[in-house]
Structure 1
Amino acid sequence: MTMELPSSSSGAPIGLAALEHRLARDLECLGWPARAWMPPQPDDLGMPQHDVVVIGGGQAGLAAAAALAQQGIHAMVLDRATFDFEGPWATTARMETLRSPKELTGPALGLPALTFRAWFEAQFGADDWARLDKIPRLQWMDYLRWYRRVMAVDVRNETTVTAVRPRADGKVQLDLSTPAGPSRVLARRVVLATGRDGLGGPAVPGFMQSLDRARWAHSSDVMDYRTLKGLRVGVVGAGSSAMDSAATALEAGAASVDLLIRRDDLPRINKSKGAGVPGLTHGHFDLPDTLKWKLRHYINVANVPPPHGSTLRVSRHANARFNFSCPILSVEQDGAALRVSTPKREFAFDFLIVSTGFKVDWHARPEYAAIASHVRAWKDRFVPAPGQEDTELADSPDLGPLFELQEKTPGACPGLDRIHCFCYPATLSHGSVSGDIPAISEGARRLATGLASAFYREDFEHHYAKLEAYDDPELLGNEWVPA
């Protein structure tokens, strides 16, 4: 007897309950999650031991945990945010829609019923899907909330990692701040799924350092844009976050918004989009270092243009101004105003937003104090060709095949390679498989299968002993009569 799965030949919505029924059946047929096979880990000096702890419950952390479950490995996921507010989508992100094409399958890990499209069509139908241009940002957050629930990802919210301490015995100690108070756990492997700023923080230009913090913000800061009503606002930058910040300020009633753009024009072509082919997704890690650097440096220099819709969202306002060839020379505070000097003219603002991206700076994160001076970066071993110097790439961690951190000085920090970087700064080493939507599933599966292999090697004697002790007979001896 076969089970008939819910469907809708007319393309009408079937409802989430029916989709979840279909997904549950798919997971059952695939044996997902797989049977547990890892040896139990006893407490150590009162500290619970886990096979894998993932730091970060956004889309990368969810995908990594779900991919590990397919391999029969349970991961505990820690996130400092409150329940249902993991990642930037419902907090610091300000775009109206995602820039990724709606057809990308994102963290679905090859499961059609787990895709955003299936989730959307189950509620709104195929006709609405056909009419949809881009995925609304908050709808993507709703999808991730659903993903966490249906894949039963073990996320512990309001849990902040205050220290990451690798040990010589192959364990990593994590000091935690939780609603119940401070605690500590051990993990055999730790995955850093901490997003764009998780290995450092905002890249704040030097000319901002001495200014009153109440007069400026980085585009990634949590802030109430309604406080900008009636103010003269400057935005430094012209990328997607700059456009989103400028548009949000305008929509909140800012008196004016001036975009200060160092280039003499906006880039037109998103070169990174043109690089997204399966060969690169799976082959980037195996490229020679010179080609990895050449590729990523070319994309950096070409610059990613802001999305079409985000740019129109700004330019539709009469009080928005695009000021090209205006790199910042200096910023001075003059009472309540900020005087910003550029090669073209001086601007006076009441508030300044810098949209200058992020940087890798282990020393900026107190939780990484034990490892900050030991992590090997690309600049520690690779010298680019003249003219290809690139600070972002130079500061990127130099990762091994399992996204693992490597020591700057061999033997100086035992256990460092038990920490795996599954976030955007892994791009130079592994390609775009850990920080963005298009290939996040491929990266998660690479990480999960690699960890499964590593665990088996480490526990070989345990598994060999289980093999020797295995005594479930295939034959009972009464199936034949000897001649």
Structure 2
Amino acid sequence: MTAFAATGRLPDPANGDPDHTGGLAAHEAAVAADLDRLCLPRKPFTAPRTGPDGKPMLDVLVIGAGQFGTGIAAALKLAGIPNFLVIDRAPAGQEGPWVTYARMPTLRSPKHLPGLCFGIPSLTFPSWCRAAKGDAYYEEMYKIPNQDWQDYILWVREVLDIPVRNDADAVELLPENDHVGVMLADGEVIFAKRVVVASGRAGTGGYAALAGVSPELGPDRVAHTMHDIDFSRLAGKRVAMVGVGSSAFDNAATALEAGAASVDMFARREVLPQLNKGRPSSVLGFLDGWMALPDADKWRLGVYLDLMAGVPPHETVQRCLKLPGMSVHFRTKFLSATPSDDGVRIEVEGGPAGDYDFLILGTGFRVDLAHEPLFESIHSQILLWQDVYAPPPELERPHLGVQPYIGDAFELRSKGEDTLERIHLFNTATFMSAGTMAGDVPALDVAPERLVTALTQKLFVEDFEPIFQDLQDWEDEHELETTPFYAPDFVNKTGR
């Protein structure tokens, strides 16, 4: 049994270096020196191409500028594929969940994980944090504060000069045989040879809906944990929470800290999960090995981890326990939520049914691209696990069967002849095919490079003819020009 000594409290900024700017500036110079020693970025190799709009076409368009989108972009640049763009619907600095709907004070991952480093020590989170905040601040830290993690991602983007276009909402994918068009909400279409969808947990089909919740309940009476909730309005109110996962506890704590009179949490299960199986399953064997498993073993492993639901971190639970007003009701069955005179009437078996002022749904995210607007025009063509694999009856899980059955390069596969393989999916919808490679912080130091290696191969193959021609035409260095053996008539010839 492991003893957890830390309480999850945030480090005191007063314990850090009072002048962080100088330390970070020196550290950024060290990053530049490291890149120079490693000859990074590598020389570009792809062939230019003109899009249907008559403009130069991108090699890669990355949708999503969160941690994985930033990592993929950085890996592209370092690999010698600089002709890319990252777009995100959020304003600059608001990408991903960390400073929006992630309502825990810290990440759930340990602080020593390297992050977006690509094998370069100076790019790791610990290196950045020590330079930006000071050694004392880092040493006092237990887990990474959300804002620090967001600042680190933005720093990687800045120090590697990653091109990001914010306030750009991708609404439709338009695949063709030799490129993909991506339509934005304003009608603009961006063309690229390859598109990577790195849209995170919120980009796989929205939140998991709950049967029985009346559509007549407006945002003033019900919200999901992923929504923008004005917690100040809950001061003095009775709150009902469906779910006991990590985000449910985070939102319960936030409501109580904002002055809510009480939070009643309802759960079907008998007890909370006890073990975080994400710890032992985030080692490199699981990350690199999952995709090499036979389908039957992928399914068996995926079902097991799906059943072993994530346990709320101890510091998250302790955060709630120190606040009066929280009650957890196990072995309950939610039946309905309907409008009352000025609140919500909750019907539930085995728990305190009755009137509440507000309902929060801690039901997690749905993984079903049929409900994700970006994939609306192509979803019927996407090959799914249920189209390929029939599990034994005891392992049937319909919600896992609707996940896409992706290829080795994380590309979508088609049920028919329609071409989807230029669209590469890199979010939690790839779980059954690739495990947590595209889903969690522990994969960040390896996952982007794995995808970019596959993209490099794809781009090299499709651009082979112009690349080969460039090789034949290359005459930049006449190696023997200063020797008696120089034969200019045989430049670019075999001499046989």
Coarse TM-score class (shorter-chain normalised): over 0.9
Which secondary structure state, in structure 2, belongs to the residue aligned with residue 206 of structure 1? coil
Which structure 2 residues correspond to residues 72-471 of structure 1 after superposition, within 5 A? Answer: 72-74=80-82, 75-168=84-177, 170-177=178-185, 181-214=186-219, 215-345=221-351, 346-408=353-415, 410-411=416-417, 413-414=418-419, 416-471=420-475
Conservation of the 8 A alpha-carbon contact between 1:197 and 1:360: no
Which secondary structure state, in structure 2, belongs to the residue aligned with residue 44 of structure 1? coil
- 2:39 aligned residue: 31
| In 2, Cα distance between equivalents of 1:256 and 1:383 | 46
Gaps of 5+ in 2: 1-15, 487-496
Which secondary structure state, in structure 1, belongs to the residue aligned with residue 130 of structure 2? helix
Superposed CA offset, 1:392-420 (max 9, x none): 42121110000000012x20x22x11000
Give, as a single letter, the amino acid of the residue that structure 1 aligns with 2:169.
T
Which secondary structure state, in structure 2, belongs to the residue aligned with residue 104 of structure 1? coil
Q: Percent identity?
A: 39
Conservation of the 8 A alpha-carbon contact between 1:433 and 1:441: no
Which secondary structure state, in structure 2, belongs to the residue aligned with residue 444 of structure 1? helix
| In 1, Cα distance between equivalents of 2:462 and 2:214 | 48
Superposed CA offset, 1:41-66 (max 9, x none): 22423455111000000000000011
Shift of 1:157: 0.5
Give, as a single letter, the amino acid of the residue that structure 1 aligns with 2:369.
W
Shift of 1:337: 3.0
Which of 35, 60, 63 aligns to 2:68? It is: 60
Which secondary structure state, in structure 1, belongs to the residue aligned with residue 430 of structure 2? helix
Superposed CA offset, 1:180-220 (max 9, x none): x5321211000000000213111111211434123100110
Conservation of the 8 A alpha-carbon contact between 1:376 and 1:397: yes
Which secondary structure state, in structure 2, belongs to the residue aligned with residue 200 of structure 1? coil
| In 2, Cα distance between equivalents of 1:281 and 1:367 | 27
Larger deviation, residues 83-92 vs 397-406: 83-92
User: Residue 160 and residue 47 in structure 1: after superposition, are their counterparts in 2 closer, same or farther (change >3 A)?
Assistant: farther
Which secondary structure state, in structure 2, belongs to the residue aligned with residue 92 of structure 1? coil
Gaps of 5+ in 1: 1-10
| In 1, Cα distance between equivalents of 2:87 and 2:225 | 25
Shift of 1:109: 1.7
Larger deviation, residues 191-200 vs 41-50: 41-50
| In 2, Cα distance between equivalents of 1:436 and 1:276 | 9
Conservation of the 8 A alpha-carbon contact between 1:48 and 1:185: no
Task: State the Cα RMSD in Å.
Answer: 1.9
| In 1, Cα distance between equivalents of 2:257 and 2:211 | 29
Superposed CA offset, 1:128-175 (max 9, x none): 32221111111111111111101111100011112211013x111111
| In 2, Cα distance between equivalents of 1:47 and 1:255 | 59
Which secondary structure state, in structure 2, belongs to the residue aligned with residue 438 of structure 1? helix
| In 2, Cα distance between equivalents of 1:89 and 1:464 | 45
Shift of 1:125: 2.8
Shift of 1:296: 1.7
| In 2, Cα distance between equivalents of 1:391 and 1:238 | 22
Shift of 1:446: 0.9
Which secondary structure state, in structure 2, belongs to the residue aligned with residue 339 of structure 1? strand
Shift of 1:257: 0.5
| In 1, Cα distance between equivalents of 2:451 and 2:46 | 17
